[in-house]
Structure 1
Amino acid sequence: MKPLFPIAAALGLALAGCQQPAAAAESYFEAPAPARIAKETGGLKVAVFAGGCFWGVEGVFSHTKGVKRAVSGYHGGNAATANYKATNSGVTGHAEAVRVVYDPKIVRYDELLQIFFSVVADPTLKNRQGPDVGSQYRAALVPMSAEQRAVASAYLDQMQKSGKWDRPIVTEIEKYRKFYPAEGYHQDFMAKNPRHGYIQRWDKPKVAALQRFFPEHYRASYLRDHK
């Protein structure tokens, strides 16, 4: 990658969930502007994004104009294992994910993709993001419509051909199963726990990068609506 906004942090191996500050350097940069523009009409839309620990994914989208709701949860497995303890085993099929409700008149799906790959997820990492390791921390796109799927597929192909990343793009598009909201204490975690070590080291820099690279999309207030 060709980083524009390096964030210093420490090097860490697998953690028991996103609960501790860990170590490694992470960089944020502007992913290419999508060539395929989303054409969505008819009111609010929903999409699901998995990109490592859901605290930061939710935090970034909660600071994005046009996002009306951001809910942390689990996607990919079944109801019996849709909880934090089981998901952290890495064998449930679930990914920590965020269900995003947005107004396409304010922010389009393709713009959400560009934000996601600029400041949230490294698309070259397989089954890990930042300090967190395991299939539950995979980066994945879960389109909720044929239009979203077409836009997501086109953008991943564009990213692969862009030469902006030094390694292959491994983020995949996953078929929507059922999304299960996470436990209440995970909702609005960044807003409720701004001094948490993990938030300070890994997630606040993501929001700072959103503000720097996408000022037109940045919302200073934190959206608190996870119903």
Structure 2
Amino acid sequence: MATAIFGAGCFWGVEAFFEKFEGVTMTKVGYIGGKLEHPSYEQVKAGGTGHAEAVKIDYDPTVITYAELVNIFFEAHDPTSRNRQGIDIGHQYRSVIFYSEASQKYIADEKIKEWEEKGVFKRRIVTTVEKATTFYEAEEHHQKYLQKNGSVACGIG
């Protein structure tokens, strides 16, 4: 198994989007990239911790590759929108790829170039590629939120 971590706005929608792909074996929503240890949802949502709402994805690389997951990430949200996805506004909703090894950083950087060259988006991609720090799992009621609660207003389609 391997792990990927992406921030693309409201983590409820991002998690639900990735879960439907073969090879994705587990998802967890949480917080990463900030200064505060063990932040709560309310603290991150308020915007002062520096964390991004993110999804940690465990996957089988013999079924789905990291490059394919990065492509899915770009299909899941608007990577040209800085610190905003839909109704969710703030640094905690930034478009970000967190890498844990050099190969992931390389693939992420190359995919950004590739998507820019495709010309799919009307504006430049603002997605950042950041070294993964500690991933703090969100509170249990946020895990599989859309499965538990149905559709809610969220910046991801």
Q: Quick check: 1:85 aligned with 2:16?
A: no
Q: CA deviation at 1:193?
A: 0.8
Cα deviation code 1:44-66 (max 9, x no counterpart): 11110000000011111111110
Q: What amino acid sits opposite 2:32 in the alignment? A: H
**Structure 2 residue 69 is the aligned partner of structure 1 residue 140:** no
Equivalent pair of 2:2/2:58 in contact (CA under 8 Å): yes
Give the Cα separation in 2 of the matches to 1:175 and 1:145.
Answer: 8
Correspondence for 2:81 among 106, 125, 129: 125
Shift of residue 81, structure 1, vs aligned partner: 5.7
Q: What secondary structure sits across from 1:140 in the alignment?
A: strand
1:40-88 deviations in whole A, cap 9, x for unaligned? xxxx111100000000111111111101110000001144461111101
Counterpart-to-counterpart distance in 2, 1:181 and 1:170: 25
Q: Secondary structure of 2:34's partner?
A: coil
For the pair 1:61 / 2:9, whether they are aligned, the reply is no
Q: Report the 3-state secondary structure (helix = DSSP H, G, I; strand = E; otherwise coil) of the residue aligned with 1:88.
A: helix
Q: Is the 8 A contact 2:5 2:99 kept in 1?
A: yes
Q: Distance in 2 between matches of 1:95 and 1:153?
A: 19
The aligned length equals 157
Higher RCO (CA < 8 A, seq sep 6+):
2
Match of 2:122 among 157, 166, 169: 166
SS of 1:50's equivalent in the other structure is strand
Identity of aligned residues (%): 41
Give the conservation status (yes or no) of the 8 Å contact 1:73–1:182. Answer: yes
CA contact (8 A) 1:81 1:92 kept: no
User: TM-score, normalized by length of structure 1?
Assistant: 0.66
Deviations 1:137-191 (A, max 9, x none): 0010011221111111101011222222111111010111100000000001011
Q: Return 5+ residue gaps in structure 1 as ranges.
A: 1-43, 207-227
Determine the C-alpha separation between the residues in 2 that align with 1:160 and 1:182.
32
In the alignment, the residues of structure 2 paired with residue 49 and residue 191 of structure 1 have an alpha-carbon distance, to the nearest angstrom, of: 20
Across the aligned residues of Structure 1 and Structure 2, the Cα RMSD in angstroms comes to: 1.4
Does residue 116 (structure 1) correspond to residue 49 (structure 2)? The answer is no
- Give the Cα–Cα distance (whole angstroms) in 1 for the partners of residues 33 and 100 of structure 2: 14
